Chains A and B, each alone.
Chain A
Amino acid sequence: MNEIFTLHVNGEDREVRDSWLGENLLDVLRDRLGLMGAKGACEQGECGSCSVLVDDELVCSCLVMAASATGQAITTVEGVAPVGAPSDVQQAFVDAGAVQCGFCTPGLIMAVHDLLDRSPEPGDTEIREELAGNVCRCTGYGRIIDAVQQVAVARRSAGGELGAST
């Protein structure tokens, strides 16, 4: 495909060249736009490592045809917080021991941001159901749930003494 199309990623218009017709958004983000944060681990939408937001909805970028996402607001992990200044979710993952190899982590960061935006105080079961689309092979999920709960508690007491603990 010789057409050039434009994707709106993390608030910026980005031109995509030399893509092919069915190319998925994950590959375009990584191979053509230099945004390596989203990861590919299954090509089938089964692992969530490629999760991004498209028009504020959490989706698997490997299942989005890149050229069909023109005119939509795409947010990747690079757009969640400035480099070097992690979001509260990102910091909680680090503090709670929720990161081991880190391959599933960017997708989970997106999913957790999405979850807490929609449901600020999720219980254990809700967290598990809402994150069931993100597979982790290293952690067994315990520390990740801890991180989510730490953020929920901290946000509830926003401005107070409580914060993500170490």
Chain B
Amino acid sequence: MSVIDQTTTTTPRHGALGTSPTRPDGVEKVQGTYAFSSDISADGCLFGVTLRSPHPYARILSIDLSAAWKIDGVQAIVTADDVPGQLTYGLISQDQPVFASDVVRYVGEPVAALAADDPEVARRGMEAIVVEYEVLTPLLDADEAISGMRDPIHPDGNVIRHQRIVHGDAAATGDVVIEGTYEIGMQDQAFLGLEAALALPDSGGKGIELHVATQWLHEDRHQIAACLGFDEENVRLVLGGVGGAFGAREDISLQVHCCLLALRVSRPVRMAYSRGESFLGHVHRHPASIWMRHHATADGEIVKIESKMVFDGGAYASTSSAVLINAITLAQGPYRCPNAVVDGWAVRTNHLPCGAMRGFGAVQACFAYESQMDKLAAACGIDPFDIRLRNAMTTGDTLITGQPVLNVAPVEECLRATSALPLPDEPVGGLLLPDGSQDAMKLPGGAGRTADAADVVRGIGWGVSIKNLMYSEAFDDYATARCRLVDSPDGVHVHLKFATSEVGQGFVTLAPQIARTVLGIDAVVIDPIDTQVGSAGSTSASRQTWMSGGAVNKACGVVRDLVFEQVAAANGWDATGLFIDGTDIVDPTSGSRLDAAAACSGLNIDETVEYRHPPTTEIDENGQGNPHTAFAFVAHRAVVDVDPDLGLVKVVQIATAQDVGRALNPLSVVGQIEGGIAQGLGLAVMEEIIQVDGVIRNGNFTDYLLPTFLDMPPVLATLIEQPDPLAPLGAKGVGEPPCISSTPAVVAAIRDALAQAGVDAALDRVPVRPADICL
């Protein structure tokens, strides 16, 4: 029974679904007492560090630990020889070594780990380890990896996945044909909360407890147990406070290393990465090269899409396979497309490994197809906004995999609602200051005072996108939640237990809202998040509101129904007729009301449930099938001021209307929208990991630039709330869409500004650099 059916027509009470109660961990976080994984330690704790490869591709000839052992305070050193269980790990294929043994395949690949009394000694110990390498010629070109001209750099080969899509009539053509090749650079998730973990070995050495900031406790546990050679039940994971994730914590990084060191010396070991190490220690967004050709009618209706996409997965597979599938199956964008031929490759090179980052393949595809849509508009003489309306998908339209989009698909509404949001009312350069001078902070270049208003042109650009929610390709995607009623001195508390990683997105705020709405009890406690309950799946793919929210909703629903049975029996009511209204249990027949919390006193109900979404299918050799679960849509409009002579930009406003289904916590939704847009803006104009000959050149925050307060504009956001009948709470995931079409919208705005200045710049690469604009 859907909660929606039971909501009353009155405004929900504060704390229930649809309101914006503050987050339960908010006060701790503002006071600095919230324990991130880097804040926790234990008595007698050692500090662990990781020795990493300086070469992108090399054979290991020898590892000499003798000098390190001579340093007073060094307590443990482990290498590949010390891995007792499976030597490799990985989310899809287990192709990544815990420690490199014969070859290293990327700069930063772990070769050894060392634990010492304190960080200084650990650092000196690590520097004393001598590794002899025979440097090999790295494979750095993705096309070379496809060509088969290079020997495999890994036993699994240089192609991680190849998938083709053929849909409709492969030979179809259109009156208008436009094509382009688009490049997307490597973006980093750059969460602030650096990797950290604390491993507490069981006395007896047959088990371990690990406190770690991660996105998926159970998958981590699964991989760690395999590498340690332990049964999973002897590996207990507890979620340490997570300082952001954005995909970078889906793969394990320091987990096995930390456990190995701790078990080695039977002492607690903590590890914490520096920023420089963090850039090497986690996966990144796949850089990609995407060729696309659109065929359309003279009126701008898409007839066929052709595309070749090449994703550079770096040294290890991670989730490259799934990222590629997202990209190619969403190549049409949120548009109707009857015919398609798409060829996608995820390849292995000696670059940094790539994997999940918010948007997960949809980002790269969107930059390509939205750039194409603007080209199509120009070729057909149609306004960029109108061409998107003309092709906009609605419910029932199909993807190029043949899958019908069964969710609400308000693409047109997103476009129109975005268009209705007001444009900035200040001109280029803003209003003059009281003394008549210009405010440099309102111009591109900021305090650098690089331009005056007359040097700057304003442009407007559009972007629209589609994102699949939850997992795909027949993955068994589920979440678990436990709901129990506990008598407390001040009344009954609802205790919720789940393994859902709270990474900042606010699930710990939402879960109590669900319980309050379903059970009518306001006092809700979140029990510690750990592996003492079943898996929740990862906090990724915009899935947790739907999945873990669905599980909490289901668990609370089961508890509620059991409560109703008891209450009905005690009062002679019909249990099936009872419902919750605010904080009351209501019997419509008699008109009686009971306080829900009071009615639950002494009932001690405790239920654990799993929630699954409807199954998806794999895709066949032509990419046909129903691989995705659900879809969400969003439109972005960017206003950007551009200095055509220096190539500097200032994003002045981003407006958006996002298909959210139902805003269960409006303030949280806005937070996801604004934060996601910041990441999209970052990819558009400033964020890129630069590798030269396989070596990272900007692994620090001085040179990997994140948008600051002065780079982010105000965001005008409208929520399109058409509750999705397929979603357990009517709500779609909201985390990823904001960072997908915001990038091409910003770039389109830059192109528009340049066009007005008489400059024709392709800007077919992101991030756009100043030289791309002005030289």
Contacts and interface: CB of A to CB of B under 8 A. Distances in A.
B244 A103 contact: yes
25 contacts: A30-B39, A36-B32, A39-B38, A39-B192, A44-B702, A46-B702, A76-B32, A83-B33, A93-B30, A94-B23, A99-B30, A101-B242, A102-B34, A102-B504, A103-B36, A103-B243, A125-B439, A128-B441, A136-B192, A138-B504, A138-B675, A139-B671, A140-B712, A142-B712, A143-B667
B447 A129 contact: yes
Interface stretch (A66-74, A104-112, A150-158): A104-112
B605 interface: no
Interface in B180-224: 190-194
Nearest to B669: A97
Interface in B1-57: 14, 20, 22-23, 25-36, 38-39
Interface of A: 20, 30-31, 36-44, 46-47, 49, 76-78, 81, 83-84, 86, 90-91, 93-95, 97, 99-106, 109, 124-125, 127-129, 131-145, 166
Contact of A137 (B31, B506, B675): B675
Interface of B: 14, 20, 22-23, 25-36, 38-39, 119-120, 190-194, 241-244, 246, 274-276, 430, 439, 441-442, 447, 503-506, 667-668, 670-671, 673-679, 700-702, 706, 708-710, 712, 714-715
A142 B504 contact: no
Nearest to A139: B675
Residue picked from B27, B700, B715, most chain A C-beta under 10 Å? B27
> Most B CB atoms within 10 A — which of A49, A105, A143?
A105
A100 B509 CA distance: 11
Nearest to A92: B30
Given A94-B23, A99-B23, A46 B701 contact: yes
B275 A138 contact: no
Contacts of A133: 708
A137 B30 contact: no
B192 A137 contact: yes
Which of A41, A90, A95, A105 has the largest count of B CB atoms less than 10 A from its CB?
A: A41
Contacts of A128: 441, 709-710
Contacts of B276: 43
Nearest to B278: A41
B271 to A, nearest CB: 14
B31 A141 contact: no
Contacts of A135: 192, 701, 706, 708
Contacts of B668: 97
A122 to B, nearest CB: 12
Contacts of A95: 22
Given A139-B674, A142-B715, A41 B193 contact: yes
A102 B506 CA distance: 11
A97 to B, nearest CB: 4
Q: Which of A36, A49, A132, A138 has the most CB of B within 10 A?
A: A138
A47 B192 contact: yes
A40 B33 contact: no
Given A125-B439, A132-B708, A137-B706, A97 B32 contact: no
Contact of B26 (A39, A93, A145): A93
A140 B670 CA distance: 10
Contacts of B706: 135, 137
Contacts of B30: 86, 90-91, 93-94, 99, 102, 105-106, 109
A51 to B, nearest CB: 11
A112 B20 CA distance: 24
